[in-house]
Amino acid sequence: MITQIAVATTVGLLGWAYLALLKPPPPKVCGSPGGPPVTSPRVQLNDGRYVAYKESGVSKEKAKHKIIIIHGFDSSKDLMLPISQDLMQELEIYVLQYDRAGYGESDPHPKRSVKSEAFDVEELADKLQLGPKFYVVGLSMGAYCVWSCLKYIPNRLAGVALVVPFVNYWWSCYPAKLSNEALGKMLAQDQRTFRIAHYAPWLVHWWMNQKWFHALSMMEGNMAIFCPPDQEMLKQLSSAPSPGQEKVRQQGEFECLYRDLIVGFGNWDFAPTDIKNPFPDNEGSVHLWQGHNDIIIPRELNSYLAEKLPWIQYHEVPNAGHLIIHNASYCETILRKLLE
């Protein structure tokens, strides 16, 4: 009897711990009772989820080039980029930005994966009738969606730009010494967070909300992760913040931020070096842009990928960090190179 009581008590305590500490709260889905209102145009995917989007540039009917820009961590479709109307008119480009699953006003995707990100892009493009081919630009964390596009929907791509792209330290293509040294350069709190996301994803919700240890530096506003050029850019951006920033996490942090960490740093079905050249006849191009001074993304890992994938055009920007897309000159160069 004592043993049975002890087992029952233990099970009860574990159940309480899971519900109280480990299980994330349900998301506040946009448009649902008690959830945030829907204020942006959205399309419904075949699985029933809604994806919010924003269009700019020339009309897609008149556009020569159609570009889908994929935002990064803790961001959204409302990210303001220094792309002038004059430049969009000159290059005849239509720009589509969208909220990735769980971000902003796009429905969460409880089964989100690296693979699902590519098919979200493809289905969104089809719902909006962008045609058989389009360009994709992935920013930082949003670049893992672009690796997915290169792997799973290469036939739909007209060109690709990976801008300060996210890296997974556990990609099988990296030599252990290289990835370990790169991870070791990160702040200790970020190393712990990335390892938990990789080895114990079920702990991520608890880890990101506990108060005993520092978790992800970016969410704490730790300026140590920004190099001097980035800090200068942040000062400029603070004078004109992107509208809609308050909507980024409005459905709950788990389905946007934490799931990004779990999916991005999880075990992938492929490594970037497994991807074949999507443009064997040079009908398009793939570009990787890396800030030389970037502290958030170790340049050694992206330069290694570029060495192993000779069809990638690697651009290392001197005296620049993680926020190069916010520099109007660099942003214009990235777009012009993509469309050449």
pLDDT digits (tens, 9 = 90+) for 60-116: 999 999 999 999 999 999 999 999 999 999 999 999 999 999 999 999 999 999 999
- Other Cβ atoms within 10 Å of 236 Cβ, number: 11
Q: How far is CA 269 from the centre of its chain?
A: 18
Is the pLDDT reported for residue 2 higher than 80?
no
Is the pLDDT reported for residue 152 higher than 80?
yes
pLDDT digits (tens, 9 = 90+) for 179-223: 999 999 999 999 999 999 999 999 999 999 999 999 999 999 899
If you average pLDDT over every residue of the chain, what do you get?
Answer: 93
pLDDT digits (tens, 9 = 90+) for 246-291: 899 999 999 999 999 999 999 999 999 999 999 999 999 999 999 9
How is 178-207 classified by DSSP, letter by letter? HHHHHHHTS-HHHHHHHHHHHH-GGGHHHH
Is the pLDDT reported for residue 10 higher than 60?
no
Is the pLDDT reported for residue 41 higher than 50?
yes
Q: Tell me, which fold does domain 42-339 have in CATH?
A: Rossmann fold (3.40.50)
Contact by Cβ (8 Å): 51, 29? no
Report residue 19's pLDDT band, with 50, 70 and 90 as the boundaries: very low
Percentage with pLDDT > 70 across the chain = 94
Nearest to 126 by CA among 218, 27, 53, 224: 53
Decide which of 242 and 329 is more confident. Answer: 329
Q: What is the pLDDT of residue 7?
A: 41
Nearest to 150 by CA among 166, 139, 163, 161: 161
Is the pLDDT reported for residue 241 higher than 70?
yes
Q: What is the pLDDT of residue 12?
A: 40
Q: What is the pLDDT of residue 42?
A: 98
Is the pLDDT reported for residue 18 higher than 60?
no
Q: Indicate the pTM of the whole model.
A: 0.93
Is the pLDDT reported for residue 6 higher than 50?
no
Q: What is the pLDDT of residue 15?
A: 43
Report the b/e string of 132-168 with b at 16+ CB within 10 A.
eebbbbbbbbbbbbbbbbbbbbbebbbbbbbbbbbbb
Q: Output helix, strand, coil percentages for the chain, rounded to the nearest 5.
A: 45, 15, 40
Q: What is the pLDDT of residue 194?
A: 98
Measured between alpha carbons, how far is 259 from 100 in angstroms, rounded to an integer? Answer: 11
For residue 259, give the H/E element and its range.
helix 259-264
- What mean pLDDT comes out for the span 160-169? 98
- What mean pLDDT comes out for the span 38-47? 97
Report residue 14's pLDDT band, with 50, 70 and 90 as the boundaries: very low
Sequence-ordered list of residues with C-beta below 8 angstroms from that of 87, at least 6 positions apart, any chain: 332, 335
- Other Cβ atoms within 10 Å of 233 Cβ, number: 20
